[in-house]
Homo-oligomer: A and B are copies of this chain.
Amino acid sequence: AENQKQGKDLAVIGGDGIGPEVVAEGLKVLQAVAPDTFSLTEYDLGAERWKRTGEVLPDSVLDELSGADGILFGAVGAAPGDKSMPSGILERGLILKIRFAFDHYVNLRPSRLFPGIASPLSDAVVGGKEIDFVVVREGTEGLYVGNGGVVRADTPAEIATEVSVNTAYGVERVVRDAFARAARRRGKITLVHKHNVLVNAGRLWNRVFESVAAEYPDVTTDYLHVDAAMIFLATDPARFDVIVTDNLFGDIVTDLAGAVTGGIGLAASGNINPSGAYPSMFEPVHGSAPDIAGKGVADPTATILSVGLLLDHLGMAEQAARVEKAVLADISRRTPGESRSTSAIGDAIASAV
């Protein structure tokens, strides 16, 4: 049915803080590269809505979202010091709820040091090297399942647990996706885990990784404990092609990966359900940055690159490539210390696609 449809339905969740600002630029670029293709429905979700109405993500909205062809997501979250909002409400009630409800088991996070972008790593580490890898983060299991609980809350005898749930079903599908990507890229894949301590989950990840590896004799495999992965990301990020890892390690690895490749102002991501049974969701890795919200200084590039991932996911590879090319060209013209406004960057990229 979807292929017969003329246009595509895009659900848009700007969110809080800089979210709506960067999403506006993403949409600008989307309209420029694919005019009259998307019909947009905006959803008012996030900290502000919760404060006004006490609602995070009503079932009816989740239901509507499920009918979309894709979701563009900005960022949610109140200011860090804002104690009126219990921690985790938005994360677990909105962003993780969508990832789990729509079975976004591939959380795809490309990391690339674009020419002309300054890395916090020294020239000895990154100079003359091509740093271009992608993290395939599992998105529906691990410590993110929300299992665990509290006994004797708020007493000196309190016990709080968190349970990481890992299944062969869940691990295999994401490991397969990662191997397929490695085969299409430079043919190298690194499993990141901590199987010397997390022996139950680690054994499962290892076993599945090795069995899928046997089907890909041309893909070189590697394994790193998550702590060792930190060291290599800081001292030799060029060694990576595809990293596959669990939900929490993926969260940690991708923020560091974003930092070393020039900052999470550039880090795009896709929460993907490869089967197409549910809409996939595309979002910048950065958060809502309340401290700079409303000032027009947020960098919309990560959101614009996320639009590129969205287009690619929807089979519009040509348009996706145009977005990426325009971003690359824009980045190559940036000078250190320049400060273009959010909309100036969006305008420039939109007019270049």
What distance in Å separates the Cβ of A111 from its nearest Cβ neighbour in chain B?
13
Cβ of A120 under 8 Å from chain B? yes
Q: A161: which of B155, B164, B233, B254 is its contact (CB, 8 Å)?
A: B164
Q: Are the C-beta atoms of B256 and A231 separated by less than 8 Å?
A: yes
Cβ of A35 under 8 Å from chain B? no
Residue of B nearest to A226 (CB): B252
Q: Are the C-beta atoms of B159 and A162 separated by less than 8 Å?
A: no
Q: Please state the number of chain copies in the assembly.
A: 2
The distance in angstroms between the C-alpha atoms of A228 and B289, with both chains bound, is 12
Cβ of A165 under 8 Å from chain B? yes
Interface residues in A89-117 by Cβ distance below 8 A to B read 90-92, 96
The distance in angstroms between the C-alpha atoms of A155 and B149, with both chains bound, is 29
What distance in Å separates the Cβ of A158 from its nearest Cβ neighbour in chain B?
4
Cβ of A258 under 8 Å from chain B? yes
Q: Are the C-beta atoms of B168 and A156 separated by less than 8 Å?
A: yes
Residue contacts A-B, CB under 8 angstroms, 9 given: A87-B199, A90-B196, A143-B197, A150-B203, A154-B207, A159-B166, A160-B201, A197-B251, A234-B234
Q: Are the C-beta atoms of B264 and A231 separated by less than 8 Å?
A: yes
Cβ of A239 under 8 Å from chain B? no
Cβ of A148 under 8 Å from chain B? yes
Q: Which residues of B contact A143 (CB under 8 A)?
A: 164, 197-198
Q: Are the C-beta atoms of A157 and B144 separated by less than 8 Å?
A: no
Cβ of A34 under 8 Å from chain B? no
What distance in Å separates the Cβ of A320 from its nearest Cβ neighbour in chain B?
27
Q: Which residues of B contact A88 (CB under 8 A)?
A: 195-197, 199, 202
Cβ of A329 under 8 Å from chain B? no
Partner-binding segment picked from A22-30, A63-71, A122-130, A298-306:
A122-130
Cβ of A167 under 8 Å from chain B? yes
Known: A194-B248, A228-B255. 13 other contacts (CB 8 A): A87-B195, A87-B202, A91-B197, A120-B122, A121-B121, A143-B197, A144-B197, A148-B200, A150-B204, A161-B166, A163-B164, A226-B251, A227-B255
Q: Which residues of B contact A121 (CB under 8 A)?
A: 120-122, 234
